[in-house]
Structure 1
Amino acid sequence: MLKNWQNKTKAPTKTIFCVASGPSLTAEDCETVQKTGCSIIAVNNSWQLFSDIYALYAGDLSWWKRYRKEIPVGQFRKFTANLAAAKSYALEYRRYCDLKEGFNSGAMAISLAAELGAEVVILLGYDCSLAHGVHWHGPHADKLRNPSEISVSTWHQQFNKTQDRHPNLHILNASRSSEIQCFPRINLEAAIAQLSSAAVPVQ
């Protein structure tokens, strides 16, 4: 869908969609989100489902090694939690936890939205479960890591910490399917209906 990219330098909006790559994510939902005019932070491969995003967040060095050549140059901001990846591929480095702690890119994307000034963050593709598969695009190949029961269990703890880290951030989980318990659930249509000044840049 890489066409008609908008100006990446425009200010992010007060409502930001964070879109992860869980198996519940659909192209139709991404198209609906695109039409809101809200800023979008895509996690890992989910940038492929949009014609315009504000930023891409992919935490792992191995992911950037595999996919960096497929990503358009200069179209949106690119972030990682890996310092080596940031230095090697001219990425912006953001890691919102101690270096000794594990992380998941979906949780880091929420913290990035908070740093960008979001007041409301709406989640899509945040399944945090293997019940319906690993990703909307299927398993990663080329020896890249895919979710396991152990990693999913750890993610739940990391999302709890993310909520604690941003007590004043209104986080809504609009994923079609999700096992995350710490964020209020809402369907996408209702979330969009509640948007207030969604496309107003953060001051």
Structure 2
Amino acid sequence: MIVGSGPSAAGAERELAGRGRAVRVVAVNDSWRLCPDADVAYACDGAWWKARQGLASEFAGLRLTHDAAACATFPGLRQVGIARGRDEILLEAPGVLGDGGNSGFQAINLAVQCGATKLILVGFDMRLDRGIHWHGKHDRGLNNPTERNIAKWRGIIDGCAPRLAELGVAVINASAVSALEAYPKMSLIEALQC
């Protein structure tokens, strides 16, 4: 399961808490607060880790970023690579993820590299008319999405559906108000029962 930061993720808090440990979770950016027992907290931006002081005392799972300076600053933070400009699911070099322009896409690529064959997307709203994030705007110094970014990211994530299917990865969109169109939609409760 990948828990993104779209506003709809806030409505899934109870289901996330009751999911059971058999479901592996990658929490993107501040979404670790919705599922503090997630397996991985992933944020590509070093500024995010700096603002959160590396989550050193708050999060027990694996903490990943692509920012080398953040890794040097915060003990226990591990680095993955990003293939800049390659907006595709990459497998050839483990630990090197497709860019996709956002942490959510990179978290999808990470899960696939770790062997996931089923992904449940939560908080992948890919629209701004219902709010920016479930937690509101990022603090000053951190980027917030624009309509242009969201349209690009939506196209990239939808565009990867054939590749994910080819790899045998089933993707379920459990983001209630998502603008993604390439993946079957269902409630999180239904997705967890599949």
Into which bin does the TM-score normalised by the smaller protein fall? 0.7 to 0.9
Correspondence for 1:199: none
- 1:114-151 deviation per Cα after TM superposition (whole angstroms, max 9, x unaligned): 12221111011000100111001111122211110111
1:80 aligns with 2:65: yes
Structure 2: distance between partners of 1:110 and 1:135: 18
Count of aligned positions = 176
What is the CA-CA distance between 1:74 and the residue it aligns to? 6.5
Correspondence for 1:60: 45
Give the letter aligned to residue 125 of structure 1. Answer: G
What is the CA-CA distance between 1:107 and the residue it aligns to? 0.9
Correspondence for 1:22: 6
Correspondence for 2:90: none
User: Contact 1:94 / 1:112 at 8 angstroms: preserved in 2?
Assistant: no
Give the letter aligned to residue 143 of structure 2. Answer: R
2:19 corresponds to which of 36, 54, 57: 36
Give the letter aligned to residue 79 of structure 2. Answer: Y
Structure 1 residue ranges without an equivalent (≥5): 1-16, 195-203
Identity of aligned residues (%): 32
What is the CA-CA distance between 1:180 and the residue it aligns to? 0.9
The change in CA–CA distance for 1:71 and 1:87 in structure 2 (over 3 A counts) is closer
Structure 2: distance between partners of 1:161 and 1:182: 8
Corresponding residue SS for 1:136: coil
Matches within 5 A, 1:83-102: 83-89=68-74, 90-95=76-81, 98-101=83-86, 102=99
Corresponding residue SS for 1:122: strand
Correspondence for 2:131: 133
Structure 2 residue ranges without an equivalent (≥5): 87-98
User: Contact 2:16 / 2:34 at 8 angstroms: preserved in 1?
Assistant: no
RMSD: 2.0
What is the CA-CA distance between 1:91 and the residue it aligns to? 2.4
1:147 corresponds to which of 142, 145, 148: 145
The change in CA–CA distance for 1:92 and 1:193 in structure 2 (over 3 A counts) is same
More displaced, 102-111 or 154-163? 154-163
